[in-house]
Structure 1
Amino acid sequence: MNLKQNIFKNATSQWPAKFQKPKQPSLPPGPKPWPIVGNLPQFIKHKNETSASDWIHSLVKEMNTDIACIRLGNVHVIPVTCPEISREFLKKQDAVFASKDRLPWPLINSDEGGLVNLRVAARNYCSNVMRKILFSRRYLGEGKADGEPGLDLDGHEKIVVKATRVMEKYQDPIIEDRIRQWRDGKKVDPQDLLDVLVSLTDENVQESDFPQLNYVKACAREAFRLHPISTFNPPHVSVTDTTVAGYFIPKGSHVVLSQEGLGRNPKVWDDPSGFKPERHLQGCNEGEQVVLADPELRLLSFSIGRRGCPGVVLGSSMTTMLFARPLQGFEWSIPGKQAAIDLSQGKGESFLAKPLLSVAKPRLPPNVYSFLT
């Protein structure tokens, strides 16, 4: 081979590497989608048989993966059950996944009658009230740039405003009078729950006791791990194409972190199905407090990132108080001849299928319960 042939061969051998586009990472593993509809047929079939969340979790387990891709129509749904990948979504690339799904306003605004999920409606109402209390902001007013309704076409705001005025009319004078009595030292009425909220000074568990209640908080944290409020967190929508954990995540993908998958991941938790509050006390030094939130996302009691829960402190305090006072004030037992508590879960959720009933027997002096009478 002469010199000219050598030069030509060396030059042409570099063309593919120089001019070829870099290979795009593949999507996360998932069931093979149909054209146009994607995995909607499988989704609908299994939803009728069990539940959507059960199908997604069984799919992730069957594929032995911590991240998957399920295409519903033209939307890529990305379920995640691994803390490391979850942190990459909500911490490392938080800005990319800070968007949320748009509300189905045409469906909400429909004039046709239909079934209403009152549980969802009540949760939305309570959420709006909490936002109003904490931030003096509401979500039933002016329209937002991300597609939320701008006009009160369905009359919801009018109804809520009217109900709020009625409540304020009857409750505000009572609350203001009670605050005045405490401030002036002229408290004459028997103590009630309102006094507890106003004064927060009685013989029951107080927030000042929280540093000594690490085991109680560990129990609450373990309950959040095993029985989260919802199976998945609200979707985080990607605003641009990106790569996470070596997989391609297209723009518009809906990333949902599995609260159940994170909390019961056998790679993270020893005996993941067992109730062991002590696991949350390990590594907790003397004087250090157990917190309900987990920034490492081994469990998802409160979300983090730009769309993280704004009421972590309030929610943690309410949970601790709600758990501590009944434990302090009563002895609890199984009712009647019931042999054991049925711990079976409801369909598609981590709550008990049947309401929890228990017998409460006072264990403290009567004066401690005076605020309840």
Structure 2
Amino acid sequence: MGFSSIPWILIFQGMMASVIATLVTRKLSTNPESISLPLPPGPKPWPFIGCLYQVLRYKPTFRWIQKVMDEMNAEIACIPICGVHVIPVTSPELAREFLKKQDTIFSNRPICMSAEIGCGGYLTTLLAPLGDHYKKMKRIVVSSVLSTAKHHWLHNKRIEEADHIVSYVYNQCKDSANGGLVNLRIAARHYCGNVVRRMFFNKRFFGKGMEDGSK
């Protein structure tokens, strides 16, 4: 048994030596004159996986992040997950800094084959990398799709669907079969789906609706 364990000891020693050599090489190759800016505060991460364990354990994740930030009394935090730094922000001023003043830096996206195939060669605004095409598409979206005029133009369609969902809830309350109970999840699904279909296709249902106002 002693002789059979010798190769494993040698393998383990070789692995440890390679790890130490890699760390020493990285330490020596680092430029001492380079200044690394500090990251925002955050929870203490695990080696290699970061805070992946906490993210998977505490659900919903956004409530855990909010709790961590409240405990640290911070409006910005850094949560490392497998080498990726997730930066949540709760301050409106910092969010405005990211989305408006520093938009050029934070709106850039990595170039990957799946995104290129999914959007037909980066023809959409959502997955397009930063460049002239993205700036043109963003200008069109802001000025035409998400403009105030477009919002007012679709106001009547949203009002129609709001009246319809009120009628649907009223019919559900009068229904004695289910005791007058209203499933808010189903009602919200009806309203959201009807608004989208009304704005895109000018139809509430693709088929014939039921008497109570549902599909």
TM-score (norm 1): 0.30
| Larger RCO (CA within 8 A; separation ≥ 6) | 1
As a proportion of its length, which structure holds more strand?
1
As a proportion of its length, which structure holds more helix?
2
